[in-house]
Amino acid sequence: MKSKIHTSSPLLLVVLLTACATSGLTKEERRAQTRQHVEECLAARKFKIDIRDMQTLRYGSRNLTSVWNVEVRNDSLISYLPYFGNAYSVTPYSGSSAKGLNFSERILSYQQERNPRKERTSITIQVENEEDKYTYLIEVYDNGSSTVSVRSYNRDYISFTGELE
């Protein structure tokens, strides 16, 4: 029994390597596919960015272990983000009614600019809810990696990094 396992292992390895080599796309083909997907999502104004890290003004960087994201659906911004920082206005930030950066609101302003030299698209979105006014600067690179920077009138600046879903 032991000899059958040893003789079939190299054969299995060769079959697997051959299958992987012939069925896979080249690196450039994968890049082109990803670039096309990014362009299609941004053109449709329907995309979601999964967040994995955040950088705060006062408290440094942190890796995030829970699921956080920002989503654009046509004329709406759905923000489900953590917030660590100082708020300059006491109410309504305190208590259980505070939303933080967790809300779904209509987009007041949407500007998109492509920079082909840097292989990225910059999107500036302005939204407002009963707590604050926000400017989201979203940069999506051709490979799908993204940064989301959030500025508001009554809070410290915070930024996030993630991937376009």
Residue 26 has pLDDT above 80, yes or no: yes
Calculate the CA dihedral of residues 86, 126, 54, 39 and round it to 10 degrees: 180
Task: Summarize pLDDT for 51-77 with one digit per residue, the tens.
Answer: 999 998 888 899 998 899 999 998 999
CB 149 within 8 A of CB 137: yes
What are the pLDDT digits (tens) for 96-150? 456 679 999 999 999 999 988 889 999 999 999 888 899 999 999 999 999 999 9
Task: For residue 84, name the pLDDT band (cuts at 50, 70, 90).
Answer: confident
pLDDT of 30-53, one tens digit each?
989 999 999 999 999 999 999 999
Instruction: Answer whether residue 24 shows pLDDT above 60.
Output: yes
Quote the pLDDT of residue 106: 97
Please give the pLDDT value at position 10.
Answer: 54
Res. 9 pLDDT band, cuts 50 70 90: low
In sequence order, which residues have a C-beta less than 8 Å from that of residue 113 and are 6 or more positions away?
Answer: 121, 122, 123
Are 135 and 124 a contacting pair, CB within 8 Å? yes
Q: 35 is in which domain, residue-wise?
A: 2-164
CATH number for the domain spanning 90: value is 2.40.128.410
Give me 154's structure tokens. Answer: 């009554």
- Number of independent structural domains in the chain: 1
On the question of pLDDT at 22 being above 50, the answer is no
